[in-house]
Amino acid sequence: AQKVTQAQTEISVVEKEDVTLDCVYETRDTTYYLFWYKQPPSGELVFLIRRNSFDEQNEISGRYSWNFQKSTSSFNFTITASQVVDSAVYFCALSEASNFGNEKLTFGTGTRLTIIP
Amino acid sequence: DAGVTQSPTHLIKTRGQQVTLRCSPKSGHDTVSWYQQALGQGPQFIFQYYEEEERQRGNFPDRFSGHQFPNYSSELNVNALLLGDSALYLCASSLEGAAYEQYFGPGTRLTVT
């Protein structure tokens, strides 16, 4: 069975600090996908990134960066120079690969990030 | 280009009643998935519809049922509501064969009293 663990329930940092959100996953599949979503107070899940299990390159997108390490089954998310608009709940999710291309997502319990002005 | 839309936004029902939630997928998408998100939890997969049939199902009782229409829109029905069914219900749409791109709607907040 698949499982995603986000051990950090809540994090608060002062604006402009860097912050890392941790994600650890479990799966018996050799091919799978990892995701990060942002959920602002409005409730809608906003897609941030998708990574497949064969691509362990780190990725940077503006102030966001992701570190994928298969050896430790982790997919951590770092926000550099945080801003108040980054305040939200962040979810890590896992999906097994299939011919459908849209398998169900297994989510972690989320990390509530608060950026203090 | 309209994204995923859901209706209603909020809903209050009494225990034992039945409820129907609606979802219109993003333009061009043919697959709809439903998730339940209890307060303080991550979304849990309920089921997925493609070509008007249920293709995948999570660990939810038969009280949860759904339907997909020829225009790809979808309904989620919950019978015999329990207090524990109170949650945010999220709909996600995707395109068959697309590289795992699921777009979520704003959700319907269901409160059961």
Summarize the confidence of residues A105-114 as an average pLDDT: 96
Fill in the DSSP letter of residue B95. Answer: -
pLDDT tens digits, A6-54: 999 999 999 999 999 999 999 988 888 899 999 998 888 999 988 888 8
The residues, ordered by sequence, that sit 6+ positions from B29 with a Cβ below 8 Å of its Cβ are B72, B93, B94, B95, B103
Tens-digit pLDDT profile for residues B59-97: 999 999 999 999 999 999 999 999 999 999 999 998 876
Average pLDDT, chain A: 91
Q: Is B100 left (phi over 0), alpha (psi -120 to 50) or beta?
A: left
Per-residue pLDDT of B9-62, as tens digits, reads 999 999 999 999 999 999 989 999 999 999 999 999 999 998 899 988 999 999
Q: Is there a contact between A105 and B43 if contact means CB atoms under 8 Å apart?
A: yes
How far is CA A107 from each of CA A6, A34, A58, B25, rounded to the nearest angstrom?
Answer: 9, 10, 21, 21
d(CA A23, CA B86): 27
Q: Quote the CA–CA distance of B79 and B57 in Å, as a whole number.
A: 17
- Min Cα distance A63 → chain B (Å) is 22
Please give the pLDDT value at position B1: 64
Q: Which of A98, A96, A99 is nearest to A3 (CA)?
A: A96
Residues 4-23 of B with CB under 8 A from A: none
Residue A82 Cα, gap to closest chain B Cα (Å): 23
Query: Between β-strands A32-39 and A88-96, what pairing exists: parallel, antiparallel or unpaired?
Result: antiparallel
For chain A, say whether B39 makes contact (Cβ under 8 Å): no
CB contact under 8 A, A102 and B48: yes
Chain centroid, CA A25 distance in Å: 11
Residue type, B113: T
Q: Does B107 touch chain A (CB under 8 A)?
A: yes
The rounded distance, in Å, linking the Cα atoms of A11 and A13 is 7
Chain B contact set for A93 (CB, 8 A): 42
